[in-house]
Structure 1
Amino acid sequence: MIATLDEQEKKEIRHTFGKLINMSASTLTKWLQTEESKSVGQTKDGHKESIGHQSGKRIIDILQKKVDELTESDYEHIQKVIGYVKRHSAQRPEHVADSNWTYSLKNWGHDPEK
């Protein structure tokens, strides 16, 4: 659990999230239904759905909320998403089209080909 964020921190987090997450809720919803989306990512023991796929569903929920509806838990997840997208983007392979790397980032709401 993270410490309570002040309004300036929340604003900065939302700004970074808005820059990194370049897929709309409807586009991400459609993507998560594809076999490519379901084919990548790590799963926790006892789960069939990958961590990234689960995150994508949570991102859709967050994108559909108004700013004043975001909870501390939402902000915690947003920070997790920001960290993942930044780390994963730094590992950019030579060929990104139709790669597991691209599919994984898209599960987290970031299309690196945009």
Structure 2
Amino acid sequence: MTDALELDALWEDFHRAVNMTSQELAAWLRISDADEDTEPLPEHAGSPTGQHVLAILQKRRTDLTDDDLEVMYEVVDTVSAQADPENEPAAEDTRRRHLLMTLGHDPLKP
């Protein structure tokens, strides 16, 4: 398990990287998995990582598991690598934006 200072830093980094609310992320996961005829059940929508991010957003810091911490590190690393403040994806760069949104980061959100 992580020490308290490292956990505090991870918590802050994760919530800085994940700039979508749990409601926004849940809606996005449903939309991204929907097709013309069907929409998945909310608890089955999106990637496993997207679902895990959503679950973490609904937890208190004291309730985090080791699996949660692993996903939080993964999300922070991925968003940091993909989200370049100097070169944020434009609205036309939908593939990159949608990848980040699946992790709870909307690069077009101020």
User: Which amino acid is 1:88 matched to?
Assistant: Q
Aligned mates of 1:6, 1:68 — CA distance in 2 = 12
**1:19 lines up with 2:16 in the alignment:** yes
Give the alignment partner of residue 58 of structure 2, picking from 58, 64, 67. 64
Name segments (4+ residues, structure 1) moved above 6 Å. 91-94
Aligned-residue Cα RMSD (Å) equals 2.5
**1:33 lines up with 2:27 in the alignment:** no
- For structure 2, the residue ranges without an aligned partner over 5 or more in a row are 35-43
- For structure 1, the residue ranges without an aligned partner over 5 or more in a row are 40-48
- SS of match in other structure, 2:106: coil
Listed as ranges, the matches of 1:1-114 within 5 Å are 4-34=1-31, 37-38=32-33, 53-90=47-84, 96-98=90-92, 99-114=94-109
In percent, how many aligned pairs have the same letter?
30
User: Structure 1-normalised TM-score?
Assistant: 0.76
- CA positional deviation for 1:91: 9.6
Aligned length: 98
